[in-house]
Amino acid sequence: MFQTEHGLPVPTVTEEEMRQIDRIAVEEFNLSILQMMENAGRALAENAFAMLGSRSRTVTVLAGPGGNGGGGICAARHMHNRGLEVSLVLANSVEDLHDAALAQFEILHSTQVSLIPQSDVEKTIRNAALVVDALLGYTLRGAPDGRVKEIIEICNREAARVLSLDIPSGMNATTGDIPGVVIKDAERTLTLALPKTGLRQYHGELFLADIGIPPEVYRKLDLRFEPLFESRSWQRLKHGQPSG
């Protein structure tokens, strides 16, 4: 269990439970992946602003091809809209982006956000005041490999500060296990909808974002809890006390 700063209990979910939540939201409640991604990206951008404060305004977003990457790409647009100097690193080619992530990239592509070539990734990460990790989400399959592995290694070596989306890339969302390379020192993680059970192993600051899923979706899986959000669509979580 986690809890809000006001002491409200917040249940955790496994990868499979989160898959079911996403499926029910889309198939039975007509939410679109693009809607939820937009909410996630906006909250991620707001967390980046909260971390930067009045410091340097340079941000590098590391984006994978799936939904997590799409949230990062969306956040890059929101940060650009608000005056940050944003660079985007894609772990795969544009052609590999999936559905909603591709839609987010097509929106971003018309702006002045720089798409960083492979040869400049290390320098770009080193020079950023903040790196946003949106490489891998809760559906990790084995150890990261290929270009994703390389980018994680560069990030671990060069990044000054890291903000991860949903879960640090390379961590198993259900168990917290690390089958290979992982984003080691994410200062903050913004997890989506509900915290994943594996985040019990995470020691950085943990925040939760509301991505627009109605409580009735969670009740389909017998997850019942008090409303967690009031005036803001994200908030800090802390570890709860063991029950009993």
Q: What is the pLDDT of residue 166?
A: 98
Is pLDDT above 80 for 35? yes
Q: What is the pLDDT of residue 241?
A: 62
Mean pLDDT of 99-124: 95
Is pLDDT above 90 for 107? yes
If DSSP codes are grouped into helix, strand and coil, which group holds residue 216?
Answer: helix
Q: What does the alpha-carbon distance between residue 138 and residue 136 come to, in Å, rounded to a whole number?
A: 7
Q: What is the pLDDT of residue 231?
A: 84
**Mean pLDDT of all residues belonging to the chain:** 95
Q: What CATH number does residue 130 fall under?
A: 3.40.50.10260
Whether residue 244 lies inside any domain: the answer is: no
Is pLDDT above 90 for 222? yes
Whether residue 219 lies inside any domain: the answer is: yes
Q: What does the alpha-carbon distance between residue 169 and residue 152 come to, in Å, rounded to a whole number?
A: 8
Buried/exposed code over 46-82 (b: 16+ C-beta within 10 A; e: otherwise)? bbbbebbeeeeebbbbbbbbbbbbbbbbbbbbbbbee
Q: What is the pLDDT of residue 242?
A: 52
Whether residue 22 lies inside any domain: the answer is: yes
* Residues whose CB falls within 8 Å of the CB of residue 180, separated by 6 or more in sequence, listed in order: 142, 143, 144, 145, 149, 170
Q: How many residues are listed for the chain in this entry?
A: 244
Whether residue 21 lies inside any domain: the answer is: yes
Least confident among 51-60, 94-103, 170-179: 51-60
Q: Domain span at residue 15? A: 2-239
Mean pLDDT of 67-72: 97
Q: What percent of the chain has pLDDT over 70?
A: 98
Counted domains in the chain: 1
Structure tokens at 182: 């992982």
Q: Give 189-217 pLDDT, tens digit per residue.
A: 999 999 999 999 999 999 999 999 999 99
Whether residue 184 lies inside any domain: the answer is: yes
Q: Which amino acid is at 19?
A: R
Whether residue 128 lies inside any domain: the answer is: yes
Write the DSSP assignment of 136-174 as a string of letters: --TT--SS--HHHHHHHHHHHHH-S-EEEESS-TTS-TT
Q: What is the pLDDT of residue 1?
A: 80
Predicted TM-score (pTM) of this structure: 0.96
Whether residue 139 lies inside any domain: the answer is: yes
Whether residue 218 lies inside any domain: the answer is: yes
